[in-house]
Amino acid sequence: MTRTAPPAGPPADAVAPGGGSGRPPVEDGRRAPGVGRRGFVTGALLAGTAAAAGFAVAPRGDSEERTAAPAGANVLTGPGVDPSGNGDSTAGLQGLVDAAPEGAWLWLPAGVYLVDGLVLRRGQMLTGPSGRSYTGSASDGARLRARTAEQTAPVLVVGELGRVADVSVEGRDQGQPAVRPAGIGVVLDRVTMVGGSVGFDAAYVSGSVLSECQVHENGVGLKDLVDSIVQATVINANGGDGISLGPGANDNCFVGNKIEWNDGHGINALQALHNVVLGGIIDRNGRVGARFVECQHTSLVGAVLRRNGRLAEGTPEDDCHVYQQDCTGLVVSGVVTNEGRDDDDVSGYRSPAVAIREEGGTDVGYTGNDLTGRTSDVAIARGAAATRALRALNLGGTGVQTVSGTRVRVTTAELSLGPRAAGSVPVDLGGVPTGSLGAVYRLGLVSQDPVTGDRVAAEAALLVFRDEGAARVQVGAVENRIGTVLGGPDGALRISPAISGDGTVLTVDVQNTRGEAVRVGVELS
């Protein structure tokens, strides 16, 4: 299986961590949005962009009030600063920024400013009239834009403890990062990041906080954060992953975000530690909704995952909501899933095939989830089963479910057997590792004597184990608990179990030896 990994670990000089219905408009022929839910959401977002949260932004009122510089702000205007989007504003803006003291409040008037890159000093705060957009570039407000597609420097570099609010930062043809922090403690409020190679390239600099931002149509949405918080942010329609976390991208909180329509994975984490995804919606990503490979001590809690894997037809490892491979201490809990086609008009590929795909891992738990949102009969697909795994109380899940190491009901089924007919009940056990001493299951059987009409019940112990070869199953005596139809050498119903070589599927066969039809209930726990 081919792994798609985020870039390798942090650079040597990085700040060390502390421990609607349509596609957005792009130029590759994907669908453009129509009037509907998405258009409504876009309007609502644009209407609510002047919230002040930490800035004394001018109050709502007429156009002049909304665009005027607040008292006390350093206005970035003058010679060499062109708001028309035609001239090069790099030197003019950088000169004004450098002339302002550390910690100064900078106001960028409405307009489009072409720059080869703008670098803020320590503690400086940059804001301006709102330049928000849900798709494409903002139509008004303060907008910084890369002057050429060939430049590689970020459009905006934010100094240590700096803050940016409401402006739009736009790359050109995904040639360079939109925003990058230069030091610890950068805060972005309601910032639009669009068209960059990366929307927000944290570059392993720690302590960033992103709130209510719009990150779309970049190569990658967010990348390589450390000790950071991303909340109430929309990360959509990026050409690769929505969020990419490589080795060293640790100790992050992602709270209540909307991660959708990215052509890669919604969240893609490789060898990242101590990350928390709490709430939010992960929807219609081209590949896996949330992918964790060799991660440790990570949780995905309370999120809604819908229609992920929309571009994964024929690629099973990507056709799922959640993928985990060789993780340690991964918890997925309270997650709700749903499947569907990749657009609200029921066109496109219907995905995903399975809710969770598992490849190995240790101390992995899936508890209290709704796993019904898939197109196949399989809720949790396994290559190699995780060891010391916890799977309990999942809706739509079949097979072994455990709580604190104590096995609870695995499966129940009812067979209707004609005269001298046989039937079988397949049970997903999740695999048996080589060298397993064995696990004991209780097989319960209930029926009705076809002659007397009396109810009958019996029990048997099943031992499943595996030495160096294939898995094996042994059955103890079927003992009658009520009546005499099932157990003993003269029992009218005969039981024989079988198991697949890897211990994944146990099959319980029931043979009716009588000339009358009978119903049999089978319970494994």
Do 348 and 418 reside in the same domain of the chain?
no
What pLDDT is recorded for position 405?
54
216 neighbors 199 (Cβ within 8 angstroms)? yes
What pLDDT is recorded for position 15?
40
Around 461, how many Cα atoms within 13 Å sit in the side-chain half-sphere?
5
Q: Is residue 252 part of a domain?
A: no
Which CATH number do you get for residue 428? 2.60.40
Do 286 and 431 reside in the same domain of the chain?
no
Q: Is residue 4 part of a domain?
A: no
- Give percent of the chain with pLDDT exceeding 90: 56
Do 235 and 296 reside in the same domain of the chain?
no
Place of tokens 């609510």: 48
Do 63 and 190 reside in the same domain of the chain?
yes
Do 426 and 516 reside in the same domain of the chain?
yes
Do 439 and 346 reside in the same domain of the chain?
no
Q: Is residue 424 part of a domain?
A: yes
Structural domain of 121: 38-239
Do 153 and 263 reside in the same domain of the chain?
no
Do 369 and 441 reside in the same domain of the chain?
no
What pLDDT is recorded for position 142?
97
**Residues whose CB is less than 8 angstroms from the CB of residue 392 and which lie 6 or more positions away in sequence, other chains included:** 365, 366, 367, 368, 401, 402, 403, 408
> Strand ranges (DSSP E) for 135-266?
142-146, 156-158, 163-165, 168-170, 179-181, 187-189, 192-194, 198-201, 209-211, 214-216, 220-223, 229-231, 234-236, 243-245, 253-255, 258-260
Domain count within the chain: 3
Q: Is residue 18 part of a domain?
A: no
What pLDDT is recorded for position 37?
31
What pLDDT is recorded for position 407?
56
What pLDDT is recorded for position 163?
98
What pLDDT is recorded for position 410?
65
What pLDDT is recorded for position 488?
64
Residues lower than pLDDT 70 in the chain? 1-67, 344-345, 397-410, 430, 488-490
175 neighbors 195 (Cβ within 8 angstroms)? no
The residue type found at 56 is A
What pLDDT is recorded for position 398?
62
Q: What is this structure's pTM?
A: 0.73
Do 143 and 234 reside in the same domain of the chain?
yes
What pLDDT is recorded for position 155?
98
299 neighbors 333 (Cβ within 8 angstroms)? yes
- Distance CA(195)–CA(214), nearest Å, equals 12
Do 392 and 444 reside in the same domain of the chain?
no
Which tokens hold the place of 505? 């599927």
pLDDT of 278-324, one tens digit each?
Answer: 999 999 999 999 999 999 999 999 999 999 999 999 999 999 999 99
Do 424 and 456 reside in the same domain of the chain?
yes
